[in-house]
Amino acid sequence: MSGRFSRLVMRLLKIGVVSMLMLALIAEMSSHMADEKPPYYSWVSWVQFATSLFAIGVYVWYRPGRKHWIAVAAVASLVATGIDIVYDQGPRGVGSAELMALGLLLLFAVRHWDAAPGRWVAFALGAAILLIGARLFVYEGSAVGGTVLIGLGISTVVGFGAYLRSMDKLRRETQEEVRRAERLELAREMHDFVAHHVTGMVVLAQAGQVTATDPRKAFADIEEAGLAALASMRRMVRMLRDDDAGGGVNPLGDLSQIEDLVDRFTREGTDASCFISPELAGAVAPEIAATAHRVVREALTNVRKHARGATRVRVVVAAAGGHGMEVSVRDDGRAARVKAGRESLALSGSGLGLVGLRERVEAVGGQLRAQERPEGGWETAAWLPREAATVEV
């Protein structure tokens, strides 16, 4: 609900800005001094009117990656100003709405500083905005003051755009750091997954030596276990981007260890309960069980950090359909207390733990959701397959 509300507010804000720009443009075309004709009598003013409309349109439909259109708007404004200087047909040109629209585009150009077609777009926009003053400040004594005001406006827009750019960069770097840490942990856990599958292969080979089992059946079982081991490794290697996986080995989390997590959480002062469906015992692949363990661990950590008003936590690991399972952690924290701390984590994508957790869940073919509950409190839930997604070997 809050995500939709935020998008609605931003949409209404843009509609308000565009409406203001259009009203300013229409007022410019019709306003004039007592001894002057309105600008709409001049064809030069209509060229500037069209340029203003184009700049407003670029602002309306701008999306990251469409910086080329900002460059076109800057060049069009420079051309319109040049026409005004060469074919001066009146004391004042049209450009106030265009000035404000280009200022908004300058904010985007600075924020997306390195995007194509290049950094020169911001400088071209700055020049276009400054030169618009030649159209507007034509009355005696207005040129210096008007140029200073435009310069101050440009400085403010550039500063705010640089701030947004630095925040974008910090967010990307932080998310990448979280993903890198997640990949290192996956690399360490690979030892446990390989050991599990190889141990199964050894047991099958030993059993084949002491029983009267058909050799072909024994070899088929060993082949199946070997393919499962290869698939498990490839699934995890696909998640890794760095060669340095660090040292050390983390214990392999499983479904039984989830109860230990909940027990420790209860001892820390919160009433927490856990239910694990008995039919899942022995029916879940090791990497899936480890992912379920990670979901519960991360969710309980978030409860401790962001839901201090919660009195009860319910952890459920249950079968879902014939080949899936659902892991859910729900608390009863009051919405007013948890909204600021956790709603932003799920909706804005800034929750650093959720970034790595979502990557882990999706790597094994699952889906993660984290959201506020209608009856109050918070829910972190993941649907996971009981067997990891098939990977060609």
Pairing of strands 324-331, 312-320: antiparallel
Looking at the 3D structure of the chain, how many domains does it have?
A: 2
Residue 205 lies in a domain: no
Residue 104 lies in a domain: yes
- Confidence category of residue 120, pLDDT binned at 50, 70, 90: very high
Residue 41 lies in a domain: yes
- Confidence category of residue 393, pLDDT binned at 50, 70, 90: very low
Indicate if the pLDDT at residue 216 is higher than 60: yes
Residue 213 lies in a domain: no
Last residue of a domain, one of 139, 154, 184: 139
Q: Which domain covers residue 282, as residue numbers?
A: 255-385
- Confidence category of residue 328, pLDDT binned at 50, 70, 90: very high
Pairing of strands 378-385, 324-331: antiparallel
Residue 178 lies in a domain: no
Indicate if the pLDDT at residue 94 is higher than 80: yes
Cβ-Cβ contacts under 8 Å for 98 (sequence gap 6 or more): 25, 48, 51, 52, 55, 56, 77, 80, 132
Report for 143-152, 159-168, 315-324, 360-369: range of highest mean pLDDT: 159-168
Residue 133 lies in a domain: yes
Last residue of a domain, one of 109, 139, 169: 139
Last residue of a domain, one of 120, 139, 158: 139
* pLDDT computed for residue 180 by the predictor: 73
Indicate if the pLDDT at residue 56 is higher than 90: yes
Which phi and psi angles does 48 have, rounded to 5°? -70, -35
Residue 366 lies in a domain: yes
Query: Domain holding 294: CATH number?
Result: 3.30.565.10
Residue 34 lies in a domain: yes
- Overall average pLDDT of the 71-94 stretch: 87
The greatest distance separating any two alpha carbons of the chain, rounded to the nearest whole angstrom, comes to 113
